[in-house]
Amino acid sequence: MSDVQTIVDGPVGRIRLNRPKALHALTNDMCVAMLAALDAWRTDPAIEAVLIDHAEGRGFCAGGDIRMLAESGAQDGAEARAFFHTEYRLNHRLFTYAKPTVAFMDGITMGGGVGLACPCDFRIATENTKFAMPETGIGLFPDVGGGWYLSRLPGRIGQYLALTGHRLDGAECHALGLATHYLPSAALLEGKARIVADPQAIAAILADLSVAPPPARLLDQREAIDRLFASDVLEDIFAALAADGGNWATQTLATLKTKSPQTMKVSLRLLHEGAMMPTFEDEMRQEYAVGARVVQRHDFLEGVRAVIVDKDNAPRWDPATPEGVTDHVIDQIFAPLPDAEAWTPA
C-alpha cells in the first residue's frame, strides 16, 4: 500500500496520508506524489476541490523524515536538500492553488503537517488536534512556511510557539485563526461525504457541522507572552522571563533552556523577516537557504541523536548559551544561496 493515496472521488481530488506507523511523517516520495496529483487536478475541469486527510492512526502528520535528514546532513546534505526542495514546492503549490483546498487536522499536526494544512483554504480542527512546531528541540527551526504563518499570529504568540514548541489544542488553533472551523471528530465522515456530494458548498457544510470550541487556554497567558517575548533578541527574552519570576515565566524559561540556542535565534530572525516578506515564494526561498545550512550543523545532528536515536533527551548544544551564538553565525545561515542552488517554485 502506498504511503500516500491520491484518488478522485466524484468531483473531489483526495489526498490521504497513509503511513500510520510513522504518524504519516512525510518522505520525498510522498511529496512528489502529492505534487503530481495537485498538478493533474489543477487543470482538470471535473475536479472542483481537494481534500487532505489521513488514514488510520492518531496523527494527521507528525512532520518530515527527520532521521533521513540527519543522516544526509552528516554527509553531504544532498538528500536533505532534495527533500526540502520538493516539500517546499508542495507547500507553495497548496498556498497558490486556485481550487478550494480542505485540510482535516484531526490528531497530531506538527512540522511538515503544519506545512500541508496551513496553506489550505479550510482548516478543520477537532478535539484531537495537537498542533505544534517543535523544531528547536532538535536543532531545527519552524520551516514549511513557519516564518510566514507564525509571524502573522496575534501579538507575540508566534514567537512563543516557535521558541518553546508549545502544543496547541484544537480550540486554541481555532481561536488563533490557524483553524477555520472546529468540528467534533465524530462529524468528519459526514463532512467529507457532504463535500464530495456538493463541493461548491464547502463553507456552508463546515459551518453547519461546526460546534462551539472549548475555551482557548493559551489566551489566558496572552498578556504575559506579549510582554515577556516582546524582543527579537533571545537574551532579552531570557532576561525578561528570569526577572518576572512567576510560575509561568519560570516554567517557560526552563523549557527554553532545553532548546537549541542557535536555532532559537534562527527562529526569531525567521519570524522577524517573515513578517515583512512580500510573497510566500520569497519566504520559501529564504527558508530553503536556512534549512540547507542548518541540517548540516552540529545542533541538528546532536538534537536528532538525543531525541530520536539514543532517546536520552540530553542534547549537548554548541554553543550552549544564547550569548555564545554570534550575529555573524546567524548572518551566515541566512545568506542567500547562489542562483544555481536556490529554491524555485514548481
Q: Which of 73, 112, 139, 191 is catalytic?
A: 112
Return d(Cα 245, Cα 284) in angstroms, integer: 38
d(CA 90, CA 345): 9
| Other CB atoms within 10 Å distance of the CB of residue 75 | 10
Q: Which residues contact 45 (CB under 8 A, 6 or more apart)?
A: none
Among 48, 53, 143, 172, the one annotated catalytic: 143
| 64, 137, 147, 274: the active-site residue | 64
Establish whether 79 is a catalytic residue: no
282 among known catalytic residues: no
Alpha carbon 172 to its chain's center: 16
- The answer to whether 246 is a known catalytic residue is no
Annotated active-site residue in 53, 65, 87, 135 = 135
- State whether the Cα torsion 297-298-303-306 is positive or negative: positive
Nearest to 126 by CA among 12, 220, 15, 209: 209
3-state secondary structure of 145: coil
Give yes or no: 112 in active site. Answer: yes
Is the sign of the CA dihedral 260, 151, 36, 57 positive or negative?
A: positive
Q: What are the residue numbers of the active site? A: 64, 112, 135, 143
